[in-house]
Amino acid sequence: MYKVGDIIEVVVTGISGYGIFVNVDNVYNGLIHISEISDLFVRDINDYVKKDEHILAEITDIDENSKQFKLSIKNINYSLIPKYGKIRDTKDGFKALQMKLPIWIREKNKELNEK
């Protein structure tokens, strides 16, 4: 079902000085070690996540015996806004961006030329 490299939604259940404890589902739990939060120095883990927050995490290791995951958030955009639900692909893909980009470029150029 799960494999190393998968990016999954998890719920933060606890925060300690060395990492973030998460619930994956009714079977698996996990830990995001402080070294897997950011490539930069992490002074306070609470600056990154809050308890009960839904986030995305990448599976780096699976221990099937203990049903524990080692997870990472440092190489992905881990923020997930629960009130909007999961991001879903649309049939239009990048069409909206393709249509709006020239307009945004013209507007920004006009703004820069007015300065």
pLDDT tens figures, 56-66: 999 999 999 99
Domain boundary assignment for the chain: 7-88
CA–CA separation, 95 vs 76, rounded Å?
24
- 83: enclosing H helix or E strand: none
| Mean predicted confidence (pLDDT) in 14-29 | 95
Q: Which CATH class is domain 7-88?
A: mainly beta
CA–CA separation, 57 vs 5, rounded Å?
10
- 111: enclosing H helix or E strand: helix 95-113
Rounded CA Rg of the chain: 19
pLDDT value for 82: 47
pTM of the predicted model as reported, rounded to 2 decimal places: 0.68
Paired tokens of 112: 């820069």
Q: How much of the chain exceeds pLDDT 70, in percent?
A: 86
